[in-house]
Chains A and B, each alone.
Chain A
Amino acid sequence: MNLTMARAVIEALIFASSEPIQLKTIAEIVEINEHTVKQLLGDLMADYQHAKKGIQIIEVANGYQFYTHPECSPYLEKLQKTPRNVGLSPAAIETLAIVAYKQPIAKAEIEALRGVSVESSIATLVDKNLIEEAGRKEAPGRPILYRTTKQFLRYFGLNHLDELPKIPDWVGVGTGELEFTVKTEVNKNARIS
């Protein structure tokens, strides 16, 4: 198969997939090495960008998928019968942020961090398939641990969890480090105010 044809096939594969299609899967189907597929994909994605099309190919959840262009969104909204989900509630998204950055994490730990009960937020997030159970913690009561799902990545347009926006000095707050953390935080405050 020549490269022009391969490129067309890759386009068709992405179009036909209901889920983001993985580089590995494409390479296996087209029988071309992943490196070449990646190059062809890059070409293809650039084509859509340059041609100012209403659709684009996006790399999401470790795969590739067709998406509409953001500028088209007001018109697409008109097409919809029911208004699109306006997004998660502030409480749900705050809970989700904790799970995303601290996973796997138990409910009680989330509650300690937020200072409120998170029962209903957890239920909503599990229901929307944004978080899932990730075994149990070896602690009294063996509480359920939660982690984010692949749907979470798709929902936020991320490829991997390490693409989450960086929050400085978050993880691993030991006693020794804490003082440092506190100081930076105080400095930051000074700058803001």
Chain B
Amino acid sequence: MDYQIQLDIFQGPLDLLLHLIEKDEIDIYNIPIALITEKYLEYLQTIQMLNLETVGDFLVMAATLMQIKAKLLLPQSQSAATTEADAAEEDPRWELAQKLIEYKKIKEATRSLITLESEQLQIYPRSGGEFADQKLAPEADPIKNLSIWDLMEAFKAIIESQFTKDFDTIPKQEVSVKQRMNEILALIQNEGRVYFKQVFAEIRSKIGLITCFLAVLELIRLKQIVVFQEALFSDIRLSLPEKVMNTQ
């Protein structure tokens, strides 16, 4: 992964060029294009071998450098070089120098912003900032990590296990969803947390199980309880909303 770090150092072709220039203590205003182009291409080769995505921008710069090199080789027109300013504008390196100087300032500005940022990351606003967001945000998702299928799966498992048990007679029970909800809520309030299986433990009739299941769903919908599954296929835990937040 070394190359990743190396690439991160240079934020683009100008950054790399500036680095090469500063390393060799070259006068920006008088860049030895042949030398720089050579060094630049050398570096580019390394990048090219490693990460194709970032190469595009660097290639444009390589082309620019070679264009400048070509222009420098061409004989200068006579009309030019009458005044110093004209000479400067005639110099194909002029534009590049200008860009590099601008880029140096951007780097300076970037450094100032990084300093300000790191200072600011040391202090936390009373509210409204990231800190507040992170700590208070849990608008407790009542069915964290759970889908309806998980609940149905759990319900199916209970039906299967319950009906393999031996029992004598099934007393007719007429329990409403509402009643069952209150019972479940009371159970959770007493125990603190209750597992899905526990809620169904004593129920013997199919209608009773359905009622109970509906009661659990209704409690979730009303956000009176929250359900949580620690791991895949582990028993689903039911608890009161604030209990969940405390235990995390």
Contact = CB atoms under 8 A, between A and B. Distances in A.
Interface string A88-130: 1011011011101100000000000111110000000000000
Contact of B102 (A82, A88, A116, A173): A173
A114 B12 contact: yes
A97 B110 contact: yes
Contacts, number: 144
Contacts of B14: 114-115
A22 interface: no
Interface residues of B, number: 52
A81 B12 contact: no
B247 interface: no
Nearest to A192: B22
B160 interface: no
B124 A87 contact: no
> Which of B27, B120, B134 has the most C-beta atoms of chain A within 10 angstroms of its own C-beta?
B120
A84 B130 contact: yes
Contact of A165 (B12, B13, B109, B120): B109
**Chain A residues touching B, range:** 35 or more
Nearest to A121: B11
Interface string B45-58: 00000000000110
Contacts of A18: 126-128, 132
Contacts of A48: none
Nearest to A175: B85
A98 B134 contact: no
| Best-buried of B97, B113, B119, B132 by chain A (most CB within 10 Å) | B113
B117 A87 contact: yes
Given A65-B125, A165-B109, A80 B118 contact: no
Nearest to A117: B57
B231 interface: no
Given A115-B57, A115-B99, A58 B12 contact: no
Nearest to A176: B85
Given A156-B117, A178-B98, A189-B28, A101 B109 contact: yes
B29 A182 contact: yes
Contact of B13 (A68, A87, A115): A115
Given A67-B124, A113-B99, A117-B57, 10 more contacts: A58-B123, A67-B126, A86-B121, A87-B121, A90-B8, A93-B110, A114-B106, A116-B57, A167-B112, A193-B22
Interface of B: 8, 11-15, 22, 25, 27-29, 56-57, 60-61, 85, 88, 97-99, 101-110, 112-128, 130-132, 134-135
